[in-house]
Every structure is written in C-alpha cells, then in structure tokens.
C-alpha cells in the first residue's frame, strides 16, 4: 500500500515536471481548437514555422544567445580569480568582499536596472550591447563567484604545487590539473550564468531601451498580444536552451553537492 502511494506520488511529481512542455506543444501546433474540445481538432506546424523564421524572432534569438554567451564567458573569466581567492585564502576584509558579492544577489534587478538606467543613458551606453552586458554581470557574476568558491573551498592546491615542482608549465597545470578538478563546479557555474542572463527581462528592458530585443521581451509582448498559439510558440523557443542545457548537465548537477540557491 505504502509502495503504491509512493509510486503514485512520483508519477504526479514527474507529470508536473513534463506538463509545461506538453501544454506549450498543444497550443503551439493547434490550428482549430474551440472550447470545450480537450485537444486541438486540427493541427498545424505552419504557424510555429512562421513565427520561428520571422526576422524579429531570428534577430531576438541571436541577440539572446550572443548576450547570454558573452555574459557567461565574462562572468567565468572575471569570477574565476575572485572565487579562487575567496575559496582558498583567509585574508583581512574577506567578509567585506563576501558582502559586496552577496548584496547584489538579494537586491532585485528592478532596483539595479532603474538606478543604472539614467547613468547609462548619460554615458551613451543605453541601447548598446555593451551596456546590457555590463548590467547582466551584476546578477551573474556573484552567482558564478559563489558557485566556484564553493568548489575551491574543497580544492587542494598541493596537486598544483607538486606539478610545479616537477617542472610543468603554468598552462599545462591549469589545463590538466586545475580544470579537471573544478570541472563539475565550472559547468554548474556557467549553466547558471547563462540561465540568469538568458531569462533576464527587466535589465534588458531598462538598459536596452527597446533597441536590444531578446526572446524574453518578445515573449512578454506575445503575452500582452494575447494569442495563445504565439505565446506557446515563443515559450517553446524560450525554454528550449534551458531544457537542453539542464538535461545535458544533469550529471554535474547531481554530483555538485552544494544546494542551488539561484532564482531567475
């Protein structure tokens, strides 16, 4: 009895997890679906094809993808040294550094974006990719640093020292020792940087000033348009990269012992 209810519970849990994709699929590929039909009476892929191939969408996709990739790479490059120091060293002002990285994870993008809006407008960075990338770094960089510093706090630097003593070059040590040891954490950190940037709506809106049109912005305008088919189509386009990336990095997510504290 207990076993049966446990299985039922699991089935419900897993059904909820799959449900959004199923729902978006129904709406995105329906042609005729009058109330109260439980399923579409006529199906079509042409609406979805039209939406995904129109120039607004393709421009949005390339803006979103390049933005998220640039932000991820920058977060890793800038975040790596900071995370390493924060994770391995004990120094004066460590808690201050920690605080500086912690506060932006709590303060909402709304407040950050509204504050930076006027500054970037005056500097001429509004509506530029550069400005939006900088703004995205405020939430992504701290998360990257915290994820990586968690890895470095369990990291034994003696492996590197040993290789150094044996005459390895710095580059070789980094590639063959450091990188391998921190790989799971690195994957998780870049995953989060990517996801936070990819799903960012407010910062792009407030800094991009309508000139940088990303997928979340197209999705919002589809929602205010109110047509379920195009809402569902844009939702599918929007969730595709996160779904693929989470599935691909599943191995690392379960390995990575730290609890995930990210919300986006």
Partner 1 sequence: MAPAILIISVLFGASILFGLAQSFGMMTGTQQETISLAAYQSVFSGQGPAGREFWSSFWFSLWVATASTFFSAIGALAVAIWLSDRKKKSQQIDTLALNWNMAFPHLVWAIALLLFFSQSGFLARLSATFGFIQTPAEFPVLVLDRFGIGIIIDYVTKEIPFLTLILLAVLRSQAENLDVVAENLGASRWQQLRFVTIPQVMPALSAGSLIVFGFIFSAFEVPAILGVRYPRMLPVLALDFFLNQDLNRRAEGMVISFVITVFVIIVAILSQKQEKGTQQ
* Candidate ranges 61-69, 113-121, 150-158, 170-178; the one touching partner 1 (CB under 8 A): 113-121
Taking the CA atoms of residue 178, residue 184, residue 188 and residue 190 in that order, the dihedral angle to the nearest 10 degrees is 40
Output DSSP code: residue 248: H
Q: How far apart are CA 200 and CA 110, in angstroms?
A: 11
Angle 26-243-190 from CA coordinates, rounded to 5°: 160
Q: What are phi and psi of 97, to 5 degrees?
A: -60, -45
**Residue whose token pair is 């709506």:** 201
**Residue whose token pair is 């790479």:** 73
- Write out the binding residues for partner 1, residues 26-85 only, by CB under 8 A: 26-27, 35-38, 78-79, 81-82, 85
* Binds partner 1 by CB under 8 A, chosen from 14, 54, 62, 169: 14
* Binds partner 1 by CB under 8 A, chosen from 1, 4, 13, 165: 13
Instruction: Give the shortest CB-22-to-partner 1 separation in angstroms.
Output: 9
* Binds partner 1 by CB under 8 A, chosen from 8, 49, 115, 157: 115
Q: In this structure, is the dihedral angle defined by the CA atoms of residues 258, 259, 261 and 264, taken in order, positive or negative?
A: positive
DSSP assignment of 38-90 equals SS-SEE-SHHHHHHHHSHHHHHHHHHHHHHHHHHHHHHHHHHHHHHHHHHH--
Instruction: Give the shortest CB-260-to-partner 1 separation in angstroms.
Output: 6
Instruction: Give the shortest CB-110-to-partner 1 separation in angstroms.
Output: 5
* Closest CB to partner 1 among residues 36, 167: 36
Binding residues for partner 1, how many (CB under 8 A)?
Answer: 79
Instruction: Give the shortest CB-166-to-partner 1 separation in angstroms.
Output: 28
Tell me: does residue 15 bind partner 1 (CB under 8 A). Answer: no
* Candidate ranges 42-50, 61-69, 109-117, 174-182; the one touching partner 1 (CB under 8 A): 109-117
Tell me: does residue 25 bind partner 1 (CB under 8 A). Answer: no
Instruction: Give the shortest CB-73-to-partner 1 separation in angstroms.
Output: 14
Helix residue spans in the chain (DSSP H):
2-28, 46-53, 55-88, 94-106, 109-123, 129-152, 158-165, 170-173, 179-198, 202-208, 215-225, 228-248, 250-255
- Write out the binding residues for partner 1, residues 185-244 only, by CB under 8 A: 195, 198-199, 201-202, 216, 219-220, 223, 228, 231-232, 235, 238-239, 242-243
- Partners of 32 in the β-ladder: 42
Q: In 3-state terms, what secondary structure has residue 32?
A: strand
Tell me: does residue 247 bind partner 1 (CB under 8 A). Answer: yes
Q: How far apart are CA 252 and CA 183, in angstroms?
A: 9
* Binds partner 1 by CB under 8 A, chosen from 73, 179, 183, 246: 246
Instruction: Give the shortest CB-167-to-partner 1 separation in angstroms.
Output: 28
Q: Per the structure block, which two tokens stand in for 165?
A: 């003593």
- Write out the binding residues for partner 1, residues 128-187 only, by CB under 8 A: 134-135, 137-138, 141-142, 145
* Candidate ranges 23-31, 44-52, 152-160, 170-178; the one touching partner 1 (CB under 8 A): 23-31
């Amino acid at each position: 009895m207990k076993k049966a209810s446990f299985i039922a519970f699991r089935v419900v849990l897993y059904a909820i997890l799959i449900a959004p994709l199923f729902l978006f699929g129904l709406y995105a590929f329906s042609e005729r679906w009058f109330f109260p039909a439980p399923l579409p009476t006529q199906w079509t892929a042409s609406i979805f094809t039209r939406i995904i191939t129109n120039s607004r969408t393709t421009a949005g996709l390339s803006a979103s993808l390049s933005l998220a990739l640039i932000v991820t790479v920058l977060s890793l490059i800038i975040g790596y040294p900071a995370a390493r120091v924060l994770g391995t060293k004990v120094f004066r002002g460590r808690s201050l550094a920690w605080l500086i990285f912690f506060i932006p994870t709590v303060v909402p993008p709304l407040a950050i974006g509204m504050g930076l809006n006027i500054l970037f407008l005056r500097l001429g960075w509004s509506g530029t990719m550069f400005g939006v990338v900088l703004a995205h770094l405020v939430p992504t960089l701290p998360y990257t640093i915290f994820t990586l510093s968690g890895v470095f706090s369990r990291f034994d630097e003696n492996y590197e020292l040993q290789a150094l003593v044996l005459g390895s070059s710095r580059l070789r040590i980094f590639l063959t020792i450091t990188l391998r040891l921190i790989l799971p954490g690195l994957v998780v950190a870049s995953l989060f940087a990517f996801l936070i940037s990819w799903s960012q709506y407010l910062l792009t809106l407030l800094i991009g000033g309508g000139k940088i049109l990303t997928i979340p912005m197209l999705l919002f305008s589809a929602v205010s348009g109110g047509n379920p088919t195009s809402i569902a189509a844009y939702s599918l386009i929007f969730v595709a990269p996160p779904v693929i990336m989470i599935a691909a990095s599943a191995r690392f997510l379960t390995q990575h012992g730290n609890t995930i504290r990210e919300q986006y």
